Structure 1
Amino acid sequence: MKNKHLIFKKIINKETSTKIVYQDEIVTAFEDISPKAPIHILIIPNTFIKTSNDINEKNKNIFAHMFYIAVKVAKDKKISEDGYKIIINCNKNGGQEINYLHMHLVGGEKLKALY
């Protein structure tokens, strides 16, 4: 699928069966359809931003809000005490598969360190 990022717009607009766990005027958080941990939530801005490289003076507050909501969801999902990861992949070599800025919140089990 050439325009994979369009699925995120459909999720934001509630045009899919994807389970949204949080949504406000700035971001949407939803369960990953291919979870890598017991808790695997994606947090995306409701306004299209292609990658973390595209964060700028005008939209930097969206990025901060994404982190804020990731922590809120971690607390709501009761994984904040034991720990979790927040991951942002950027471009192909960084593992970004969909060209739409998104943050992974993963937890619910002991996670391996990357380095």
Structure 2
Amino acid sequence: MQECIFCKIVKKEIPAEIIYEDDNVLAFKDIQPAAPIHLLFIPKKHIPTFFDLQPEDDKIMGEVQRAAAVVAGDLGLAERGFRLVANCMKDAGQLVFHLHYHFLAGRELQWPPG
């Protein structure tokens, strides 16, 4: 199996504008932004979809969400807020099969999203 694009970003084989990184989590700017602030938050561990999560992944997924809150605070979004969205499988719009969250902010977001 060929390695996914997000795994290559984690290994620094493909450049990305990294916003946050720690031992288990990476966040970088989306190359096709849907909002003024559009970041992708991923676990560094390759997990294709939510259906592939194992009990041992609970901690890392919590770390991904915590990282989003940390970055939101750093960006001054505590008052305005942000949206964290994950697409799971083709019908939901998942294009890269490495679990990831879209972090959207910087404008008033509408609901329902689509």
User: Partners in 2 of 1:74 and 1:111 — Cα distance?
Assistant: 15
How much does 1:63 deviate? Answer: 0.8
- Compute the displacement of 1:113 (Å): 1.2
Separation in 1 of the partners of 2:47 and 2:103? 18
Q: Which residue of 1 aligns with 2:34?
A: 36
Q: 2:64: which partner in 1?
A: 66
Are residues 1:106 and 2:109 paired? no
How many aligned residue pairs are there?
Answer: 113
2:13: which partner in 1?
A: 15
CA distance in 2, matches of 1:37, 1:98: 19
Report the secondary structure of 1:58's partner residue.
helix
* One-letter amino acid matched to 2:30: D
**Structure 1: which 4+ aligned runs deviate by more than 6 Å?**
none
Q: Quick one: percent identity of the two aligned structures?
A: 37
Cα distance in 2 for partners of 1:94, 1:24 equals 28
| Residue deviations 1:59-78 (CA, integer Å, cap 9, x gap) | 11111111000111111112
**CA separation in 2, counterparts of 1:55 and 1:77?**
29
Q: In terms of mean alpha carbon deviation, does 74-83 or 29-38 score higher?
A: 74-83
Instruction: Give the TM-score normalised by the residue count of structure 1.
Output: 0.90
**Once superposed, what is the RMSD of the aligned Cα atoms?**
1.6
Check whether the contact 1:55–1:63 (CA below 8 A) recurs between aligned residues: no
Q: Where do 5+ consecutive residues of structure 1 fail to align?
A: none
